[in-house]
Amino acid sequence: MTQVDAIVVGGGLGGLAASIVLGAQGRRTLLLEAAECLGGKAGTTTIDGVTVDTGPSVLTMPHTLLGLLRTAGLAPDDHIQLRAASPGFRYHFADDTVLDVHHAVGDTLDSVHATLGGQAARELEAFLAPRIARFKIPEKIWCQHDPLIRGATDKTDRRAIRAACLGL
Ligand SMILES: Cc1cc2nc3c(=O)[nH]c(=O)nc-3n(C[C@H](O)[C@H](O)[C@H](O)COP(=O)(O)OP(=O)(O)OC[C@H]3O[C@@H](n4cnc5c(N)ncnc54)[C@H](O)[C@@H]3O)c2cc1C
């Protein structure tokens, strides 16, 4: 068997991303996948003639995907064209309430205010504010770094992440 530097178990989004980064670092990488096709939860299945997603349908961190393509030496524009949907998505509740959710938090709060009332909007804002603040630190460190230099996360970064996660 050919000698490898790294073995990645699982060819879902995580394993595929890891393999791309390792490959870009010049490491011979073996990706093992138990299923018949790659993708893991990100796939489709057909039920009664209708094709549905089995997992992700919303690209929550587009910059991460674009960064991964660049890491692989690909120009994102040559492969995908991302367009922000407006609204981001729409909830249809059983009682016929329809609620639009937008990319900008302020727009979503306006939408909740218009659909569910001021009290609901205030409750959502109070729920979101501390969580958005806490997410900003790990997001900046883990998701916006180039994957090739992410390993350089230093002690200060780790302290900031811990503080953010503990809500300090
Ligand atoms: C219904 C649903 C909706 C979602 N919607 C979104 C969304 O809108 N946006 C978003 O960002 N995320 C969404 N997610 C989350 C996202 O799908 C997952 O975070 C992501 O796909 C997980 O990828 P993964 O590689 O970690 O794991 P998986 O996709 O689970 O991949 C694991 C892989 O490992 C393989 N495997 C397991 N054990 C072995 C073994 N022993 N040997 C070899 N192979 C093995 C499996 O076959 C599988 O292919 C959603 C998830 C679900 C279920």
Nearest CA to ligand 1 atom 1: 55
Any domain includes 147: no
Any domain includes 143: no
Model confidence pLDDT, tens digit, residues 84-140: 888 988 999 999 999 999 989 999 999 999 999 999 999 999 999 988 888 777 666
pLDDT of the residue at 140 = 66
CA distances from 51 to 43, 57, 89 (A): 10, 13, 19
Structure tokens at 81: 């064209």
Are the C-beta atoms of 111 and 101 separated by less than 8 Å? yes
Q: 23 C-alpha vs ligand 1 centroid, how far in Å?
A: 21
Q: Answer yes or no: pTM beyond 0.85.
A: no
How far does Cα 59 stand from its chain's mean position?
6
Residue to mutate, 41, 57, 103, ligand 1, most ligand atoms under 8 Å from C-beta: 41
Q: What's the rounded Cα separation, in Å, for the pair 135 and 95?
A: 33
Model confidence pLDDT, tens digit, residues 31-74: 999 999 999 999 999 999 999 999 987 887 788 888 889 998 99
Residue 24 pLDDT exceeds 60? yes
Any domain includes 71: yes
Q: Which helix (H) or strand (E) holds 92?
A: strand 89-92
Q: 50 C-alpha vs ligand 1 centroid, how far in Å?
A: 21
- Total domains in the chain come to 1
CATH number at residue 51: 3.50.50.60
Any domain includes 109: no
Residue-number span of the structural domain to which 45 is assigned: 1-83
